[in-house]
Structure 1
Amino acid sequence: MAASGRGLHRALSARPCPPRRPAHWEAAGRLKPEYDAVVIGAGHNGLVAAAYLQRMGVNTAVFERRHVIGGAAVTEEIIPGFKFSRASYLLSLLRPQIYTDLELKKHGLRVYLRDPHSFTPMLEEGAGGKAPRSLLMGSDLAENQRQISQFSQKDAQAYPKYEAFMNRLASAVDLLLDAAPVDTEAFWRGSLLQRLRALSTLAPLLRAGCILGTKLPQYYQVLTAPSTKVLDQWFESEPLKATLATDSVIGAMTSPHAPGSGYVLLHHVMGGLEGVKGAWGYVEGGMGTLSNAIASSATAHGASIFTEKTVAKVQVDSGGRVRGVVLQDGSEVRSRVVLSNAAPRTTFLKLTPQEWLPEEFTQRISQLDIRSPVTKINVAVDRLPNFLAAPNAPGGQPLPHHQCSIHLNCEDTHLLHQAFEEAMDGRPSHRPMIELCIPSALDPTLAPPGCHVLSLFTQYTPYTLAGGKAWDEQERNAYADRVFDCIEAYAPGFKGSVLGRDILTPPDLERIIGLPGGNIFHSAMTLDQLYFARPTPLYAGYRCPLPGLYLCGSGAHPGGGVMGAAGRNAAHVVMGDLKSL
């Protein structure tokens, strides 16, 4: 099988394999000329918004431009027999209330929890004939301390205190995720009713402040400082600091040395699954199963979801209020409100008639930081990677470290910073940061027996290469080859196991998934683009200057990740507005 695998790998390297088209999502009913609400885009947030609106009695239709629903949370059989979570690939941040309200388990959602969570092998000569060292972290605190003690006894003692410190901050921020940010404009200039509503949104902020108490200045530093500064205050060993620092830059065109990277670190440690705080897991059947479960919940209550229906523009009546959308085929669909799951740039600069938006607003939208460092590579292999630091079992069955996020080129925070600097110069990183996941180690439905699917979340890669050069097939394959060479150094024989690969650079993520700049969060998760200022300080939250038009995607509060909070919060804001009309 390995020999045929190498032949297929060579063919796919020269000519990327086109995705196999899954069956269309079966919409509930035929397209009607009018709905109460229209949602642009069937990403997970758009589906969540539609499900909540429909449950509250708002007749809702969702229009998706692709042939498959899910946006970034999608499963595609790119290589025959191998099912990939093509973009998003892990679940943890989805809000617990959404599980319950939408009855996602009833609609087919099953999750495999991962424990241990992360594995960082070293590139080093093993001492006395032993294997190179590695850092394996999970839910067992005592075992984590034993692992860390390989590198520093001091760090092993400090780790439980660090965990408690970060968990307290995560608990405080968690309160802000399920409500719209404070509407400062309404608070100071609105009617009495609007001011009372705005006043009620202060409650989560006050409760968060009470949780942090007298340590608020220390937590403020976590949110504003470089993550390396935060980690340096706790630890001395680079393998531990670099492993933790990966969460501070994941999906962000930033360095762990950059101010504000601490918040991204927090954003990725405040999730949980099945009641287990901080747990991450794989969705059985890939991330598309999650999107299908949300869609099933929505359609069970009467929502309509249509694929291959591209929205060309938002329609506005003569009084300056949204009245529906126009599809690319010329069809007009009327609605009282329109919710956009598309990114702010797409929503306001491409779909909305510019004459109805203030110039200052559109200027702020055009200036959003949408830079992305991410190239996602999906790989089919005929056997598990065999790491020097943790050799495979004789029978080839998955071992605990195979279920983890495997961090490569992450032994030192300087490596992460160096990779960032190369990308800022327009050069794909020489030693890219690689997060390698093997969901088929826990979910056998994804690949043929004995084979596996690998998700390589790599950075840093620029959107435009040095000299204004575009990513072509040659550049894509050259970068992927470099990534594979890096994996080979940690796991000799990896390249010989490859059956095929799918390479998504930032422009590919923009073109295929609809992420401007390739940014997985729709816009950077930096403090100047969060909470009061997401998407802009002029209009934070879900409403916009055009009455009847709302954001419901990752470009709105509380931001990116497969969280669903933006969709749920937007639906409740829309419902409140519809009641007051």
Structure 2
Amino acid sequence: MWRRNFSTGAAASRALTGKKFDALVIGGGHNGLTAAAYLARAGLSVAVLELNRSEISKFSSRDAEAYPSDFMDLLLAPASKVLNNWFEAEVLKATLGTDAIIGTTGSVHTPGSGYVLLHHVMGETDGDRGVWSYVEGGMGSVSLAISKAAKEAGAHILTNAEVSQLIVNDSGATSGVVLADGTEILSSMVLSNATPYKTFMELVPNNVLPDEFTSNLKHSDYSSATTKINLAVDELPKFESCKLSHPDAGPQHMGTIHIGSERMEEIDSACQDAVNGIPSRRPVIEMTIPSVLDKTISPPGKHVINLFVQYTPYKPSDGSWSDPAYRESFAQRCFSLIDEFAPGFSSSIIGYDMLTPPDLEREIGLTGGNIFHGAMGLDSLFLMRPVKGWSSYRTPVQGLYLCGSGTHPGGGVMGAPGRNAANVVLQDFKRR
């Protein structure tokens, strides 16, 4: 099954030349793979085309009375208002507040950031609401598991298969795609897991889309201030707040560790730096140490540390992310901040890599480096996602669908956009 349905390179694409599928999926991210798995299980012939090699009053009358205003605050208000209403301790409010700025260029004081907070805490794991989980082997294991399910259902997955253009016939309907090597793969249904901008501005031929749709899409917000730093270290951080007499992992190493955000005003100050065009002088850092829980990803005595960092403008005004010295300077700024809380952290680093917004755009295809395929603002949620009038996963091109995080319900590793899109495709397929 693996050999038959998982293939890579030019030979694989040539083998599919002229073959017609019921559906094609552009991009092997978790949403694309989820859509492919559901479609294949429903009996459709499916191929996934991936550029790269590898792949959340009934019980209380008081609560019932409070619900409408609380819910509207979560949708419309700044996260700081929500947190100030609910909590007293500043450090608790700031810690929770980081969930309101993940992947955004906004502050905890930005209207609508309450929804971003809700978006990141309303999911569940094994019935525990608001819990985030770690997957053994890293997040790539999620895609591997979904791709395994898709292949077992009969889907073909091609890697190193870069889609360069959508084929649109004279009637305005899609009939397949063209790969970068010129190979044509045919289907009257194509699902794109790429960002809406990349899908319509780069893959769809010119003069196919309605002017209003194109205008709305071009003016959508793809800004990002997120940087990811992955490190290998030779010892665990020794936090001043919880010193231990042994080098082994403790509870302080097993959750999300928040650095640079003891007060909501610190978060806002870091954001204002980015608004003024410079990376935050005191970045907001969320640290995780997955190797404490997962011994499969690092050798004995060594550890993997992930840093999710805000705020880093796509085009900083005081330098360029293409400058190695500029990149190194910012990385050392982050490590020095961690040293304030865990002395000696910097000296434990064996090596690291860093993904800034331009890196995320170039290497992963995230327009503007936005991890959500577009901002999660008030003007781009629900019926407005990705643009007004096109929230049903269908698009102005007949037979072309969106299945990525640029559709409802948005970003996060949950597979909901892929599943929803697959259901819409199946509805349309049955009507034929």
TM-score range, shorter chain: over 0.9
Check conservation: 2:321, 2:327, Cα contact below 8 A. Answer: no
1:214 and 1:487, CA in 2 relative to 1: closer, same or farther beyond 3 A? Answer: closer
User: How far, CA to CA, are the matches of 2:106 and 2:392 in structure 1?
Assistant: 24
The answer to whether the aligner puts 1:330 opposite 2:182 as a matched pair is yes
Contact 1:376 / 1:457 at 8 angstroms: preserved in 2? Answer: yes
- 2:32–2:403: 8 Å Cα contact kept in structure 1? yes
Residues 343, 554 of structure 1: 8 Å contact kept: yes
The 3 A distance-change label for structure 1 pair 419 and 322 is same
Q: Which residue of 2 aligns with 1:503?
A: 354
Corresponding position of 2:45: 59
Aligned counterparts, 1:245-260, within 5 A:
245-260=97-112
What amino acid is aligned across from residue 351 of structure 1 in structure 2? L
CA apart distance, 1:541: 2.7
1:31 has 2:16 as partner: yes
Provide the secondary structure at the position in 2 that maps to 1:475: helix
Q: Secondary structure at the match of 2:189?
A: strand
Is the contact made by 1:554 and 1:566 (CA closer than 8 Å) also made in structure 2? yes
- 1:362 maps to a residue whose letter is T
What is the match of residue 272 of structure 2?
421
1:309 paired residue number: 161
CA contact (8 A) 1:374 1:505 kept: yes
Instruction: Return the match for 1:521 from 355, 372, 376.
Output: 372
Task: Write the distance in 1 (CA, Å) between the matches of 2:91 and 2:158.
Answer: 47
**2 CA distance for matches of 1:533 and 1:408?**
34
Distance in structure 1 (CA, Å) of the matches to 2:320 and 2:353: 21
Which residue of the other structure, out of 157, 181, 192, is the alignment partner of 1:340? 192
1:373 maps onto 2:225 in alignment: yes
Partner of 2:131: 279
| Identical aligned residues as a percent | 50
C-alpha distance after superposition, 1:315-370 (max 9, x if no partner): 01111111000000000111020000000000010001131100110111111111
Q: Which deviations, in whole Å up to 9, do the C-alpha atoms of 1:11-59 show, x marking residues without a partner?
A: xxxxxxxxxxxxxx93398535221110000000000000000000110
Deviation at 1:217, TM superposition (A): 2.8
Partner AA of 2:295 in structure 1: P
Unmatched segments (≥5 aa) in structure 1: 1-24, 70-92, 94-163, 166-210
**1:297 matched to which residue of 2?**
149
1:259 deviates by 0.4
Instruction: Specify the SS of the correspondent of 1:379.
Output: strand
Amino acid at match of 1:481: Q
Cα gap change, 1:392 to 1:471, in 2 (>3 Å) = farther
Distance 1:377 1:61 in 2: 33
Q: CA deviation at 1:391?
A: 1.5
Confirm or deny that 1:458 pairs with 2:294: no
| Residues 535 and 541, structure 1, Cα contact 8 Å, conserved in 2 | no
Q: What residue is the counterpart of 1:230 in the other structure?
A: 82
1:114-193 to 2 correspondences below 5 Å:
none
- How far the C-alpha of 1:470 sits from its partner, in A, is 4.8
Deviates more, 1:242-251 or 1:230-239: 230-239
Q: How many residues are aligned here?
A: 420
Q: What is the root-mean-square deviation in Å for CA atoms of aligned residues?
A: 1.9
How far did 1:397 drift?
1.4
Q: Distance in 1 between matches of 2:355 and 2:235?
A: 23
SS at match of 2:6: coil
Question: Match of 1:390?
Answer: 242
SS of alignment partner, residue 72 of structure 2? helix
What letter is aligned with 1:61?
A
Contact kept, 8 Å, 2:321 with 2:356, in 1: the verdict is no
Give the superposition deviation at 1:289. 0.9
* Counterpart contact for 2:28–2:50, Cα < 8 Å: yes
Q: Give, in angstroms, the shift of residue 274 of structure 1.
A: 2.1
**Secondary structure at the residue paired with 1:53?**
helix
TM-score by length of 1: 0.70
**Counterpart Cα distance in 1 of 2:67 and 2:409:** 23
Which residue identity does 1:270 align to in structure 2? M
Cα distance in 2 for partners of 1:371, 1:433 equals: 18
Gaps of 5+ in 2: none
State the alpha-carbon separation in 2 of the partners of residues 288 and 462 from structure 1.
27
Asked which structure has the greater RCO (Cα within 8 Å, sep 6+), the reply is 1
- Deviation at residue 278 of structure 1 after TM alignment: 2.1
Decide whether aligned partners of structure 1 residues 40 and 528 sit closer, same or farther in structure 2, where only a CA change above 3 A counts.
same
